[in-house]
Chain A
Amino acid sequence: MSVQEGISPSPSTGDSGRVSLVNNPRVRGFIFQLITAIIIAVVLYIFVTNAQTNLRSQGIATGFGFLDQPASFDVNQSLIEFTQNATYGRVLLVGILNTLLVAAVGIILATIIGFMVGIARLSPNWMVRTLGTIYVEVTRNLPPLFQIFFWYVVLIKFSPSPRDSFSLFNAFFYSNRGLYMPSVVLGNGAIFIELSIVIAVVLALVVRYWARKRQEQTGEQFPVLWTAIGLIIGLPLIVSAIFGFPITFDVPELGGFNFRGGTRVIPEFVALTWALSIYTAGFIAEIVRAGIMAVSHGQTEAAGSLGLRPGPTLRLVVIPQAMRVIIPPLTSQYLNLTKNSSLAVAVGYPEITAIFAGTTLNQTGQAIEVIAITMCVYLTISIVTSIFMNWYNRRVALVER
């Protein structure tokens, strides 16, 4: 229908005047679309009622009431408080957060590695270029599940047991149980330190804005990066000195079989995030390379003749122009990484597919509801990522003057 509307008045409604409704393209288009919609609705209806009838005849529980039932099992990594009395709804939340954690850390790591390798593949240095090529061909040609297994086995098999763990300053401990680190315990006055960090960040942004304006007007540059680092580290340091350093650290200690206290990064998380980052970086490297090669060589030459060195040329001239080629396929890679995080179930990382679409489904038996919720979660995460990347894409798009 929209197609017909898009085109200028269709020939049959032209000067010949009245045409039989059967031959009117608008009417025909409408009728066919209506029929399609009805068929889809009927099929959906049949599926839903059929599922309901079958579930009822087999006496299988239905509905979303199970989300309020206590889950009575444990998970080994949770960003929010999780006790055995927690409900299945809480399990869902823990799963979503764990998925988001892998996705966020993975996307950042993959982007950094991907950009480095992508640029390395265009290096004039033979060694660097070849290493880049080997990296790309190895990582993107092996299945991600295999890579996750590989890194997991490497991590747990070749790391020491907790009793013989590597330690750094007697505060950081690494073993096949993961990495234990001191956790921060906030005392009185700590709120002012947090506040000072926020103020420092705001100040740094203001400095950046001012420096950019000044450069546009006078061409003079200002060391924004160093000022920002100074502010963000210095200001909280001064504030905490004033309040007598109210921050203490909870240092992990070996007790019994494992360490106690402190915070911990479990090996399942490391293996999964690392493997997915390495895998996705292989694809991102190629996207970056394609993006850079899409920028006309004349741009680089022009930058060179203006006296820019290779570093600034890449940063200020080539990459900004390459970005508009890079962003759309990069979005797909980010979405792939997020979805591939569901492979975690193989190494026992408690993300949504493992603990919600896995354990919860099994303990409650409500497959349809659980799978529907899980699909909605992935869909929401992916769509939000897409919307953000599309917004960013419009921002970096070439503005023609």
Chain B
Amino acid sequence: MKKFVALAFGAAVGISATAASAATLDDVKSRGELHCGVTTGLPGFSAPNDKGQWAGLDVDLCRALSAVIFGDANKVKYFPLSAKDRFPALQSGEIDVLSRNTTWTSSRDSSLGLNFASPNYFDGQGFLVRKDLNVSSAKELDGASVCTQTGTTTELNMADYFRSNNMKYEPVAFESNDAVVQAYDAGRCEVLTSDASQLYSLRLKLANSEDHVVLPEIISKEPLAPAVRHGDDQWFDLVKWTLYGMINAEELGVTQANLEEMKKSDNPDVKRLLGVDGNFGEQLGVSNDWVVRIVTAVGNYGESFERNVGTGSPLKIERGLNKLWTQGGLQYAMPVR
């Protein structure tokens, strides 16, 4: 009997070990793959491509992280999560990093026990409507039915916006983005609201995407950032610097095409970034050529942006706020030194 009690005790403690464990990097290395939380399918950010592989701006972060740790961008297991399921999945230790267009807010940062690396996409909430409604501003939406995804900041912003403008509305909230699109397409709602980037992406899923238009109003700040659990600073640093590595590479002009040339550069910033000088990778717990691995795998931030959501993609989203700070945007990475 004592043996059984000891066994039960051991089992319970064993369950706890995964959730409470501090050394995520060691866990990932010994497991041999990175567990990455993504959307259930949002073209441009995270969705399976025509070859059935996950692709997108958010997926590129997971691939870069995998390249940094393993030297191979494909050692990632993707966990498609609904907006509702994403935080418990991260909190319970099922995934190592949540890279799923998630808005960084104070309550998520504190009471949900998350740490956000740095925004990889500066977004804002917008409205998608049918062209034949002849609506040109969100201020004309009084009395409308609005379809949205449940468990998002979108639901809260929408409530604030309609109330502060003294407008009535009917919220219709669905669990998955697909259900939202389906209901909107079938005419259940006049308006579909979500982050502006998602609206462009979801519009592609509609029967006649040309019949729909995104209204000019942006009603909120939505800094989308990858997140990790509280309690593992080393892992938090690594995720954060993987993103900074991508942005710094763009700022210093390091691309997939000129990577080999850049390794021979005399620019001290480039030398430090690519691990030619110093041991900045080792300080993060990975090899010194970490940025070389990132750029080889997914390119710099700008390349990843253009390929997934920018001009090189069906979404054709402008860089806008996501330009580098040197070009009038907000993307600003801390220096490697």
Report if A and B associate in a common complex. Answer: yes
Interface residues of A (CB under 8 A from B): 35, 39, 42-43, 46-47, 50, 53-55, 57-61, 72-76, 84, 153, 156-157, 161, 176-177, 255-258, 260, 267-268, 345-348, 350, 354-355, 358-359, 361-365, 367
How far, in Å, is B262 (CB) from chain A's closest CB? 40
Cα A16 to Cα B102 in complex, Å, equals 76
- Whether a CB of chain A sits under 8 angstroms from the CB of B87 is yes
> Is B250 part of the binding interface, using a Cβ–Cβ cutoff of 8 Å?
no
Mark the stretch among B184-192, B214-222, B297-305 that contacts chain A: B184-192
Within 8 A of A (CB), among B180-220: 182-183, 186-188, 190
Q: When the two chains form their complex, are residues A60 and B171 in contact, meaning their CB atoms are under 8 A apart?
A: no
Q: Given contacts A53-B20, A256-B144, is CB(A362)–CB(B151) below 8 Å?
A: yes
Residue of B whose beta carbon sits closest to that of A72: B156
Question: In the docked arrangement, what's the CA distance between A76 and B169, Å?
Answer: 9
| Between-chain CB contacts (< 8 Å), 17 pairs | A39-B4, A42-B8, A50-B16, A59-B113, A60-B230, A61-B112, A73-B171, A84-B163, A153-B182, A176-B186, A257-B133, A346-B174, A348-B175, A355-B150, A362-B83, A362-B87, A363-B107
- Contact across chains for A365 and B108 when beta carbons are under 8 A apart: yes
The answer to whether A50 touches B91 (Cβ under 8 A) is no
Measured in the bound complex, the distance between the Cα atoms of B100 and A362 in whole Å is 15
**For A176, what are the chain B residues with a Cβ–Cβ distance below 8 Å?**
186-188
Select A76's contact among B111, B151, B171, beta carbons within 8 Å.
Answer: B171
A358: chain B residues at CB < 8 Å are 84, 150-151, 175
Interchain CB contact (< 8 A) of B16 among A53, A75, A256, A260: A53
Q: Which of B143, B159, B174, B175 contacts A73, CB < 8 Å?
A: B159
- A47, A60, A268, A361: residue with the most chain B Cβ atoms closer than 10 Å: A60
Are A348 and B183 also in contact (CB < 8 A) when A39-B4, A59-B113, A177-B145 are? yes
> Is there contact, CB below 8 Å, between B8 and A365?
no
Residues of B within 8 A of A55 (CB): 113
A156 in contact with B144 (CB, 8 Å) = no
Which residue of the partner chain A has the closest CB to B151? Answer: A362
A215 to chain B, nearest CB (A): 53
Q: Closest CB-CB distance, B37 to chain A, in whole Å? A: 14
Report the minimal beta-carbon distance from B279 to chain A, rounded to whole angstroms: 31
Are B145 and A348 in touch, CB under 8 angstroms?
no
Most buried by B among A46, A59, A157, A267: A59
- Residue among A43, A54, A57, A354 making CB contact with B150, cutoff 8 Å: A354
Task: Determine whether B88 belongs to the interface, using a CB cutoff of 8 Å to chain A.
Answer: yes
Q: Would you call A57 and B20 a contact (CB within 8 A)?
A: yes
A-B contact sample (14 more), CB < 8 A, given A161-B187, A257-B133: A54-B19, A57-B20, A58-B113, A59-B230, A59-B231, A156-B186, A256-B144, A257-B144, A258-B145, A347-B179, A348-B172, A358-B150, A362-B84, A365-B91
Instruction: Judge whether A346 and B175 touch: CB under 8 Å.
Output: yes
Cβ contact within 8 Å between A359 and B142 = no
Q: Which residues of B contact A58 (CB under 8 A)?
A: 19, 91, 113, 229-231
Write the chain B residue with the least CB distance to A44: B12
Q: Are B171 and A267 neighbours in the complex by a CB distance under 8 Å?
A: no
List of B residues within 8 angstroms of A355 by Cβ: 150
Within the complex, the shortest CB–CB distance from B241 to chain A, in Å, comes to: 22
Number of interface residues of B (CB under 8 A): 54
Interface membership of B257, Cβ < 8 A: no
B113 touches A84 (CB 8 A): no
B15 at interface, CB cutoff 8 A: yes
User: Top 6 closest A-B pairs, CB basis?
Assistant: A362-B151, A256-B143, A365-B112, A60-B113, A61-B111, A58-B113
Q: Would A42 and B5 be within 8 Å (CB), given that A156-B186, A256-B144 are in contact? A: yes
Q: How far is the CA of A267 from the CA of B188 in the complex (A)?
A: 9
Check A258/B91 contact, CB under 8 A, given A84-B159, A346-B179: no
State whether B143 touches A75 (Cβ < 8 A).
Answer: no
Smallest Cβ distance from A88 to chain B, in angstroms? 13
> Which residues B1-31 have CB closer than 8 A to chain A?
1, 4-5, 8-9, 12-13, 15-16, 19-20
Distance (Å) between the CB of B216 and the closest chain A CB? 19
- Is B260 close to A, CB under 8 A? no
Say yes or no: A348-B143 contact (C-beta < 8 A), given A47-B12, A59-B230. Answer: no
How many whole Å from A86's CB to the nearest CB in chain B?
11
CA distance A24 to B325 in the complex (A): 83
- Closest A residue by C-beta to B180: A348
CB-nearest residue of chain A to B143: A256
Residue in chain B with minimal CB distance to A264: B170
Q: A57-B231, A161-B187 are in contact. Are A365 and B172 (CB under 8 A)?
A: no
Residue-wise, chain B 122-144 has the 8 Å CB interface mask toward A (1 for contact) of 00000000000100000001111
B window 83-132: CB within 8 A of A = 83-84, 87-88, 91, 107-108, 110-113
A47 to B111 Cα, complex, angstroms = 21
Give the docked Cα–Cα distance between A328 and B141 (Å).
52
Residues of B within 8 A of A348 (CB): 150, 172-175, 179, 183
B1, A157: Cβ atoms closer than 8 Å: no
Q: Determine if A74 and B230 form an interchain contact, defined as CB atoms under 8 angstroms apart.
A: no
Instruction: Report whether B175 and A50 are in contact in the complex, using a CB–CB cutoff of 8 Å.
Output: no
Would you call B111 and A364 a contact (CB within 8 A)? yes
From A47, A74, A176, A255, name the one whose CB has the most chain B CB atoms within 10 angstroms: A74
B282 at the interface (CB under 8 A from A): no
What CA separation (Å) do A60 and B108 show in the bound complex? 9
Interchain nearest-CB distance for A380 vs B (Å): 24
Q: How far is the CA of A74 from the CA of B155 in the complex (A)?
A: 8
- Whole-angstrom distance from the CB of A71 to the nearest CB of chain B? 9
Please, how many angstroms separate the alpha-carbon atoms of A177 and B191 in the complex? 13
- Contact between A60 and B91 (Cβ–Cβ < 8 Å)? yes
Q: Of B12, B107, B143, B186, which contacts A258 at CB under 8 A?
A: B143
With a 10 A CB-CB cut-off, give which of A55, A72, A363 has the most chain B CB atoms. A363
